[in-house]
Amino acid sequence: MNHQIVDQKERSLVLEYAKKVTGNFIGGHWVPSKSGSTIEILDPSTGRTLGEVPNSTADEVAAAVENAAAAQHSWAAKTPSQRSKALLDLARLAEENFELFSVLEAVDAGKPISAVRDDEMHGTLDAMRFFAGASRTLPAPASGDYLEGVSSVMRREPLGVIAAITPWNYPLLQAVAKVYAALATGNSVVLKPAETTPYSTVLLAELAAQVLPAGVFNVVFGSGAVAGDALARHPKVAAVSFTGSIETGRKVGIAAADGVKKSILELGGNSPVIVFDDADLDAALDAIAAGGVYNTGQECMSASRLIVHSSILDRAVEGLKARLSEYQVGDVLDPGTAIGPMNSAEQRSRVEAKIAALGPDAKVVLGGVSPEGDGFFFPPTIITGAGQHDEIVQEEIFGPVFTVQPFDAESEAITMANSTRYGLAASVFTSNVGRATRVQNALNFGTVWVNNHLVFAADLPVSGFGQSGIGTENAELGLLEYTRLKHIMIDQR
Ligand code: NAD
């Protein structure tokens, strides 16, 4: 493990940028917080302080919602073309700030700079352009005369003010998925980022203020329990778009339901990865290793729960071990780093606790112990022998940890895959097309990959089945979530 801190210049850039946060970003400018309380932001690679953000009160959240409500009507009155143009302008500004976004996101969230530069930033910019364009071609039932002498007209309208609550594992990508879908369809937004990862969202809001009307996109900082809850409950918020854990999602859903408003919930996952004995094992293990350690496994679709045909179990474990041992774990600013730290000491403790609680038959065959030294690092880990009812199999781990369980019959693999409370994503590796089709049809998951894992595009929907969520993010369906359909009937007589 390489814990050397490699580039103080880029880290200094983040420290400098962090000083900009002097309050909440409301109505297109910084509004000082009067809460008297702050949240310290740490660098996960070093454990040192990057800066602090306000721990906002419910009143400060309310001020942001009032601003968003005041700005929404004129934004909604713009044509789809005008809104699209403004959002494309913001995408252009984001691209001009590619390097600053990359460094802020890498250091603040603890992501390898290579992953941000080569992958996430491109996905983020592409998502911006997708939402800006797709919002101009939204479908609706055909207008027409469905009753004699009466014309029906369909009108797709925005919902109003959207509360966006984002997690720390993809701060920028999640902000963009929510803010762009909401703004493109004529809503305004108040966003509360996760407590540990504010900075890429701050940059997005600052750039937005250059091209969007003041007040259509506001950012408030603070705790989930106070600021997040106040935002979800505010009577002028029309809908809540949340990504995070099931437990918090349930609270957010209840808060929204209290006000009889919509909630779009993208929650946790615990992805099964079924590997048949007829699969190309080397190709499968390449995809699985990469898909399990990406973002240090803090990925709701992580390739974490392997269900492997018993005849190839030993080969699969050895092959996975070999691949995981090759990854460089270390400072996110080292371009050679493939696996960064966990996002927080708290998240690392959660993973450690799950490993400490393993049942007597479970065995850690790789990793499993946090290294000495600064930062919140945790090594790639493989666990064999865990039973289907063990917590490590049933619950999302959210770390670079794989469980490997054997199966014999196809039906057994499907049963094991389907028997947790989650339903976000799954994958199946086989060279038999008939088997691939049978298995993917039987899996209760919103996304199923065949002979791959963890590939995305903004054009394609993400929906959680089971307790993994309600509603859809991305794709045309994701845009429609932020609209309502009005039916107008005109009597011709
Ligand atoms: P979390 O649920 O703790 O927090 C998410 C956000 O909710 C944060 O901004 C937090 O401040 C806020 N929050 C907390 N309590 C709140 C409350 N009572 N009311 C309103 N807001 C509140 O989740 P996390 O630990 O930040 O993120 C990790 C989780 O998110 C994992 O479980 C992961 O699987 C899930 N996730 C899901 C997806 C998806 O698309 N399905 C994507 C990314 C992450």
Distances (CA, A) of 270 to 284, 285, 298, 305, 422: 18, 18, 11, 7, 6
Please report the atom of ligand 1 found closest to the CA of residue 424.
41
Distance 491 CA to ligand 1 centre (A): 48
Instruction: Give the mutation target among 65, 111, 165 for probing the ligand 1 site: most ligand atoms within 8 A of CB.
Output: 165
Determine the Cα–Cα distance for residues 448 and 462; give it in Å rounded to an integer: 10
Share of the chain above pLDDT 90, in %: 98
Shortest CA distance to 193 belongs to which of 217, 214, 213, 221? 221
User: Tokens standing for 113?
Assistant: 């700079």
Segments in 294-389 forming alpha helices (H): 313-326, 345-356
Provide the pLDDT for residue 8: 73
Query: Per-residue pLDDT tens for 272-325?
Result: 999 999 999 999 999 999 999 999 999 999 999 999 999 999 999 999 999 999
Q: Which CATH number fits domain 8-267+468-487: 3.30.70.260, 3.40.605.10, 3.30.70.2740, 3.40.50.720?
A: 3.40.605.10
Distance 248 CA to ligand 1 centre (A): 6
Provide the pLDDT for residue 463: 98
Distances (CA, A) of 55 to 82, 346, 394: 35, 19, 34
Q: What are phi and psi of 472, to 5 degrees?
A: -130, 140
Mean pLDDT of the chain: 97
User: Tokens standing for 365?
Assistant: 């065959």
Query: Per-residue pLDDT tens for 137-189?
Result: 999 999 999 999 999 999 999 999 999 999 999 999 999 999 999 999 999 99
Please report the atom of ligand 1 found closest to the CA of residue 347.
25
Do the beta carbons of residue 220 and residue 170 sit within 8 Å? no
- Whether 266 is catalytic is yes
Model confidence at 107: pLDDT above 80: yes
Ligand 1 surroundings by CB, under 6 angstroms: 165-170, 192, 194-195, 224-225, 228-229, 232, 243-245, 248, 251-252, 266-269, 300, 396, 398, 424, 462, 464, 469
Residue 197 CB coordination number (10 Å):
27
Provide the pLDDT for residue 6: 59
Please report the atom of ligand 1 found closest to the CA of residue 248.
2
Model confidence at 83: pLDDT above 90: yes
Q: Is the dihedral of CA 412, 418, 419, 424 positive or negative?
A: positive
Please report the atom of ligand 1 found closest to the CA of residue 249.
2
Model confidence at 104: pLDDT above 90: yes
Measured in whole angstroms, how far is the alpha carbon of residue 492 from the centre of its chain?
49
Query: Per-residue pLDDT tens for 444-489?
Result: 999 999 999 999 999 999 999 999 999 999 999 999 999 999 999 9
Active-site choice (195, 300, 396, 473): 300
- pLDDT band for 7, please (50, 70, 90 cuts): low
Query: Per-residue pLDDT tens for 198-235?
Result: 999 999 999 999 999 999 999 999 999 999 999 999 99
Provide the pLDDT for residue 317: 98
Rounded to an integer, the average pLDDT of 431-438 is 98
Q: Is there a shared CATH topology between the 8-267+468-487 domain and the 272-458 domain? A: no
Instruction: Give the mutation target among 248, 344, 396, 422 for probing the ligand 1 site: most ligand atoms within 8 A of CB.
Output: 248
Share of the chain above pLDDT 70, in %: 99
Model confidence at 1: pLDDT above 60: no
Domain 272-458 is in which class?
A: alpha beta
Q: Is the dihedral of CA 169, 127, 107, 217 positive or negative?
A: negative
Rounded to an integer, the average pLDDT of 241-267 is 98
Query: Per-residue pLDDT tens for 344-376?
Result: 999 999 999 999 999 999 999 999 999 999 999
Provide the pLDDT for residue 408: 98
Distance 463 CA to ligand 1 centre (A): 16
Q: Where are the domains of the chain?
A: 8-267+468-487, 272-458
Distance 245 CA to ligand 1 centre (A): 5
Model confidence at 4: pLDDT above 60: no
